[in-house]
Chains A and B, each alone.
Chain A
Amino acid sequence: MQTSPLVVRGLSVAYQKKPVLQQVSFEAPEGKLIGIVGPNGAGKSTLIKAALGLIPRLSGEVLIYGRPYAEQRKLVGYVPQRESVDWDFPTSALDVVTMGRYGRLGWFRRPGAAEREIALACLAKVGMRELAGRQISQLSGGQQQRVFLARALAQDAKLYFMDEPFVGVDAATEKAIVALLSELKEQGKTVIVVHHDLSTVREYFDWVLLLNERVVDFGPAETTFTADKLQTTYGGRLTMLDRELGSPVIANGR
């Protein structure tokens, strides 16, 4: 039997006393690009962080290829939100990408020539080979995001979690990320992406998880990403400017 890359069962998370995720369950199919969509505060990032064990969960279990995450770390790559780190840190793009290899080095081994080669190859894949030696604060927002993606590639995983990779990037970077996503898909990898821009969901993702504290729906984009279900997810706060959703223009009313 084929085991799913990610199974989440009855996951609940709370900050202080306020529940953020309630009884979230879903089973991600392998080799798909999966978008997580929902309003602000719906727990999208929290879902990723809880799955990776970065924040404690109240209840529920998360299985990566049939086993707990702690046993499967090497199968998982992670792209945190760009603003989560200090880009004035004294380090270069190449150095940041090399960090993606640390998980495979164990406690004492230091990154060497082999890690450097892999990191350079990953930077090349996101079109940043020439900027490898650049101090990270001197990169544009889009370039910083590409460095983060290259670092995740260096993790050489089978399942990727990306937290809002499209936020604040230029058009060229957006294209580069999309190309990278389809390349990962061709390699049979599964990518789970927290996504904000509703107008590109259909175009970028095969499957969609509609989330608002609870799972509203999970399935192929064609059947899941519909006006009705979006209204349910956003609690009726969406104003549909285009009823057809073919080329959806959606304003997020508050």
Chain B
Amino acid sequence: MTTLWILLTGMLVAASCSLVGCFLVLRKMAMIGDAISHSVLPGIVIAFLVSGSRDSLPMLLGAAAIGLVTVFLIQLFHQGGVQSDAAIGVVFTALFSVGIVLVSAYTQHIDLDLDCVLYGEIAYVSWNTIEIAGIALGPKAVWGVGIALLLGVLCISLFYKQFKLCAFDPALAAAIGIPVALFHYLLMSLVSITTVASFESVGAILVVGMLVVPPSTAYLLTERLGRMIVYSIALGCVSAVAGYYAASLLDASIAGCMIGVAGALFVLALLFSPSHGVVWRRWRQRRLAEAHRLEAH
């Protein structure tokens, strides 16, 4: 049963991260995902300190709020004349350090340790279950990440055309009356919520891998946005499952192995993708050169 819960959690994390990650990658905002995943830490800790529990809801709200603050601050600094990558670097490290200080200063004797925050502990998901009216409902993480995934699927399928146009051509989107800023912050809220829901399982650092790596792989494999999203989710799930078995084989970190597999898949796609693949491109060039030589003779 434990295995099943871990696999389910891993796949849900992979699916929800890959989904919103597609839009981050296409909008060239992959590093914003990185920033959010780190800077939500103080939000989580503050929510934890205020509510006194590791209940998912206050944490989710606290982190989502800080996630939006992060995006807002980055934009503010950028508009104020700071280079955008420097603005990202400044904002997320500053907020992350606030989070680290809060964790180390106030939560030493409580069950919220730094290792867990940074690296996640997906192996223990099945120990932390919810029960309502005496009925066991399964691990909390499954519910948290499941709700995040549901929210993502709901928002993106409902407003697919808006998200697509805002990603491809924000000027036209604004010209035809789509509230571009609203959809920008909606996407950022989804990223924050997904990140927070996932961080308990895979940690604040590796969640970025799930946000960025499967979408980047899918980007190499297709030329349609719809398919890119589907491939991205599928690749994420495959990475989660294969990563789990690799981890039990090597007796290593599960989350680490999951992202490791995702990374390996990316390298494979980079080499062998039919359209972008380095290998095929070389092969085609060689064939072309050969044909050329034959013609010359």
Contacts and interface: CB of A to CB of B under 8 A. Distances in A.
Contact of B161 (A73, A111, A137): A111
B219 A90 contact: yes
- Tell me the interface secondary structure of chain B in the complex: helix
A120 B297 CA distance: 46
B172 A90 contact: no
A17 interface: no
B57 interface: no
A73 B176 contact: yes
7 contacts: A53-B174, A70-B177, A84-B169, A91-B168, A99-B161, A102-B162, A102-B176
Interface stretch (B41-49, B61-69, B103-111, B220-228): B220-228
A135 B223 contact: yes
Interface string A67-85: 0001001001010100011
Which among A103, A105, A137, A155 has the highest number of chain B CB atoms within 10 Å? A103
B178 A102 contact: yes
Interface string A136-158: 01000000000000010001000
Interface residues of A, number: 30
Interface in A51-101: 52-54, 70, 73, 76, 78, 80, 84-86, 89-92, 95-96, 99
Interface of B: 26, 28, 158-162, 164-165, 167-169, 171-178, 219, 222-225, 227-228
Contacts of B175: 52-54, 73, 76, 78
Given A90-B225, A91-B225, A105-B161, 5 more contacts: A85-B168, A86-B28, A89-B167, A91-B224, A102-B161
B223 A99 contact: no
A78 B224 contact: no
B72 to A, nearest CB: 18
Interface string A39-55: 00000000001001110
B293 to A, nearest CB: 27
A6 B167 CA distance: 29
B176 A103 contact: yes
B281 to A, nearest CB: 14
Contact of B158 (A73, A96, A108): A108
